Amino acid sequence: MQTAVIVGTGLLGSSFGLAARRAGLFGRIIGVSSPPVAAGALAVHAIDEVLDLAPALAEADFVLLAQPVRRILSLLGEIEPLVKPGALITDVGSTKVAICAAGAAITRATFIGGHPMAGREVRGPEGALATLFENRPWILTAPHAGLEEMVRSLGAQPVQLNPADHDRLVALSSHLPQLAATALASLLSENDLRQVAGPGILDMTRLALSSFPLWEDILSTNRDNIDAALAAYIGELEAVRAALRSGMLQPHFERGARLASQLRRA
């Protein structure tokens, strides 16, 4: 593949551009984004040039949709007559059921849903890193040898999951932690904790720095799975509360420590 088009040159899109450039994947990387964001991507050398959507797609052998979920859904409804026949299209959206359903309607090109499990609290191309995807899972919703090899060349680990399993699992591993951190920070916001804040509260509230406009699309397109995850978490908090009262907290600590250790070894 010679020409890549990145639609949305923010943090993930520009990080992809930097990582792809480092790996020598493409001869030309075109960015499609708003003027200030595209200028930022050019400044950090994540892309070679900027074009409007239609002329960019006409030249694209590979397309990465790196915008918020609802915008990705809208784009998938627009690009069928614009995309170069035979192109490979993927995305970085944080939910997959709705996106993959929209992508399945494309006939001129091949669409494979994707989700790199990587990110930072900062937004925009100025925060982009060529190393952002290293040693991170990159979910793909269907087998595709070329895309899997591309993911490996970026330093990530391809993992295949169907869209429904993806959305159920990330509700637990990503969306629930975000809401837990947001709820904790919201609860504590009426207290001045600066004089007693240690690494524990800093670690636990890190995700509360995330942007609501970015998360709004994610939460609205995975509502049922997130609701189930929240219900399970509330149930566990109630169990921990009961164990605190009875002096039987040790099993909760042990189960939690096992999971934390497993994640860090992985």
Surface-to-core class of residue 131, CB atoms within 10 Å of its CB (0-12 exposed, 13-18 middle, 19+ buried): middle
pLDDT tens digits, one per residue of 243-256: 999 999 999 999 99
Which of the 8 DSSP states describes residue 27? S
Q: In terms of domains, do 117 and 171 share one?
A: no
Q: In terms of domains, do 172 and 134 share one?
A: no
Q: In terms of domains, do 90 and 216 share one?
A: no
Q: In terms of domains, do 228 and 114 share one?
A: no
Q: In terms of domains, do 192 and 120 share one?
A: no
Helices 69-78 and 212-220, interaxial angle, to 10°?
A: 60
DSSP 72-116: HHHHHHH-TTTSPTT-EEEE--S--HHHHHHHTT--SSEEE-EEE
Task: Find, among 21, 196, 15, the residue nearest to 4 by Cα.
Answer: 21
Q: In terms of domains, do 29 and 153 share one?
A: yes
Using the 3D structure, point to which of 161, 179, 204 is the last residue of a domain: 161
Using the 3D structure, point to which of 161, 184, 205 is the last residue of a domain: 161
Q: In terms of domains, do 179 and 257 share one?
A: yes
pLDDT tens digits, one per residue of 179-194: 999 999 999 999 999 8
Residue 24: predicted pLDDT: 97
Using the 3D structure, point to which of 161, 185, 204 is the last residue of a domain: 161
Q: In terms of domains, do 178 and 82 share one?
A: no
Checking if the pLDDT of 122 tops 90, the result is no
Question: If you average pLDDT over every residue of the chain, what do you get?
Answer: 96
Q: What is the CATH number of the domain that holds 89?
A: 3.40.50.720
Q: In terms of domains, do 73 and 131 share one?
A: yes
Name the residue range of residue 42's domain.
3-161
Q: In terms of domains, do 195 and 210 share one?
A: yes
**CA-to-CA separations, 130 to 14, 40, 92, 109, 192, in angstroms, rounded:** 8, 15, 16, 27, 38
Q: What is the CATH number of the domain that holds 183?
A: 1.10.3660.10
Q: In terms of domains, do 121 and 193 share one?
A: no
Checking if the pLDDT of 232 tops 80, the result is yes
Q: Could you tell me which residues come within 8 angstroms of residue 119 by beta carbon, excluding any fewer than 6 positions away? A: 11, 12, 132
Q: In terms of domains, do 28 and 142 share one?
A: yes
DSSP 137-190: EEEESS--HHHHHHHHHTT-EEEE--HHHHHHHHIIIIIHHHHHHHHHHHHHTT
Total count of domains within the chain: 2
Mean pLDDT, residues 108-114 taken together? 97
